[in-house]
Amino acid sequence: MQNFRRIITIVLLCFILIPENVLAQNIHLKVNIEGIKNNNVELHMGPYFGEGKVYEHKIQINTGELLTIDCNIKKLYQCRIINNEMWVHFANDSTWCKNRTVTFYAEPNDTITIKGKLKEYSVDYTITGNKINEQYSEYRKEYLPLFETEIKLTIEQNRAERSTMPLDSIKSKSSARWAYNKYLWLESLKFVEKHLDYEYSPRLIFPLYVPYDSLEMYKNKLHKNVFKADIGRRYLEEVRREGNNFKTESGKAPNFKFKSHKGKRYKLSDFRGKFIVLDFWGSWCGPCLAGIPKMKEYYNLYSEDIEIIGIACKDKDKNWRNAIQRQKLIWLNTLNSNKNDISELYGINSYPTKIIIDREGIIIKKFIGENEDFYLCLKELIDNEIIENQLK
C-alpha cells in the first residue's frame, strides 16, 4: 500500500513539475479547397483571448494528407488560411477580404478537416473537428449570401478609392459598405437568438454595432456555460471595455504615459494646445495599413495644428518597428502593452479606431474603421478655426 501511494505521489509531482509548454499540444489539419491552383498557403494562428504565442506556417493543402501543425497551443486559437489567389486583385494593387479566406478555431490536439470551394466573392467551406468549428460552419452556411454581398461592396469601395471618382462618390461607396456591415451583423443576432447555448454565439455580438445596454442584455440572456469558453470570456471582457468606452465617449480624455518608438517618454497632456489624434492600429491589420497614405496626406497638411499618436495593439515589437520603417510613419508611435493598456483606458474593441481630442483635452469624436468621416471632421475642425480667427 505504501509503495502504491509513493508511485501516485511521484506521478502527481511529475505533472506539477513538467513545464506548461511540454503539456501543450499541436493540432492536426486536413484542407481541401477546390479552385486553388497553388497548394502553398499561409497559416496564421493567434490566441482568441488573452496572451499567447502567434504562429505563422507555410503549409500545403489539397494533398489529401493529415498535417501535424507544430504550434504547442494551450487554449483556443483563431486561425486563418490565405494565399495570393484568395486576395482580390486590381490593375496595380490588391486587397484581402476576411470572408474570402478560410477561418477556423483550434484547441489543443484537435484534428480538423476543412472542405470547400473558392468562389468569385467568397470561400464556401465547412469545418469539422470541434464544437466551435461546427457551430461556426452552421452560421457560415446560413449567412454566406450576405458575406458575398459585403465582399462585392468592399471591392466597389476599393475600386472607387483607386480611381479618379469625385470625393462624394467615394464617400458614398464607403458609406454603403459600412451600412451593409452593420446590417449583416445585426442580422447575425437572429442566429444568436436561436442559439443562446452556442459557445460561438458571443462572437457575433459586436460592440461596434450593438449599444452598450444591449451588450448587457445579451450577457444575461446567453447560457452561463457559454462564458466558460474563451469566446464567452472575451465577450465579457469586451462588455467591460465597452463600459469604459461608454464613460469616455465624450468628456475629458484620460491621460496616459507612453514611450515612443524612438525611446523618448511622453504624456498625453504634453500635447495640450494641439488637436490630438489617437490612432489605434496594428501591423497585422489590413484596413489600418490601407489608411496610412491618407493619414500622411492630412498630417502633412495640418502638422502645425495636430499631433498623431499611433498606438499599435496586439502587435509584436519586431513587426511593429518593421511596419513603422516600411510605411515611413512620420508621427509619434508607441506599442500598447498589458502593463500600460491604453486601448482598455479608451474602451477600444475594433481596429483601426481613431479618436480626435481638442486643444483643451476634450474628446470630440471616435471613428471606428477606415472611415472617410474622420478626415472630413478633422478638416472641418481646423478650417472652422481658421475662419473664426480671420473674423476676430
Question: Which string of DSSP letters, residue by residue, matches 38-78?
Answer: --EEEEEEEESSS----EEEEEE-SSS--EEEEEEE-S-EE
Query: If DSSP states are collapsed to H, E and C, what string results for 273-314?
Result: CCEEEEEEECCCCHHHHHCHHHHHHHHHHHCCCEEEEEEECC
> Is the model's pTM score more than 0.85?
no
User: 108-124 b/e with 16+ CB inside 10 Å = b?
Assistant: bebebbbebebeebbbb
Q: Which residues pair with 367 in a beta bridge?
A: 354
**pLDDT over 90 for what percent of the chain?**
50
What are the CA-CA distances from residue 125 to residues 136, 175, 222 (Å)? 11, 29, 27
Q: At residue 20, does pLDDT exceed 50? A: no
Residues ≥6 apart with Cβ < 8 Å to 239? 207, 215, 216, 219
Please tell me the distance from the alpha carbon of residue 240 to that of residue 237, in angstroms, as a whole number: 5
CATH code at position 277: 3.40.30.10
User: 53-86 b/e with 16+ CB inside 10 Å = b?
Assistant: eebebebebbeeeebebebbbbbbbbbbbbbeeb
What are the CA-CA distances from residue 346 to residues 224, 288, 304, 390 (Å)? 28, 18, 25, 35
Domain span at residue 384 reads 254-391
pLDDT digit string, tens, across residues 213-261: 788 899 999 999 999 999 999 999 888 877 766 555 557 888 999 999 9
Residue 300 domain-assigned (yes or no): yes
- Between 331 and 252, name the one with better pLDDT: 331
Please tell me the distance from the alpha carbon of residue 282 to that of residue 259, in angstroms, as a whole number: 17
Residue 130 domain-assigned (yes or no): no
Q: How many other CB atoms are found less than 10 A from the CB of residue 311?
A: 23
Looking at residue 129, its pLDDT comes to 93
Contact 247, 258 (CB under 8 A): no
Q: How far apart are the first and last CA of the chain?
A: 96
- Give me the number of domains the chain comprises: 1
Q: pLDDT band for 344, please (50, 70, 90 cuts).
A: confident
Residue 223 domain-assigned (yes or no): no
Residue 194 domain-assigned (yes or no): no
Residue 239: what residue type? Answer: V
Average pLDDT over residues 341-354: 87
Residue with cell 490566441: 47
Looking at residue 387, its pLDDT comes to 56
Residue 60 domain-assigned (yes or no): no
Looking at residue 18, its pLDDT comes to 44
Residue 135 domain-assigned (yes or no): no
pLDDT digit string, tens, across residues 257-313: 999 999 999 999 999 999 999 999 999 888 888 889 889 999 998 888 999 999 999
On the CB side of 385, how many CA atoms lie within 13 Å of its CA?
13
Phi, psi of 35 (to 5 degrees): 95, -10
Residue 210 domain-assigned (yes or no): no
Helix (H) or strand (E) segment spanning residue 108 = none
Q: pLDDT band for 16, please (50, 70, 90 cuts).
A: very low
The DSSP call for residue 349 is -
Residue 121 domain-assigned (yes or no): no
pLDDT digit string, tens, across residues 1-15: 555 555 554 444 444
Which set of grid coordinates corresponds to residue 174? 464607403
Strands 306-312 and 362-368: unpaired
Average pLDDT over residues 361-369: 86
**pLDDT over 70 for what percent of the chain?**
90
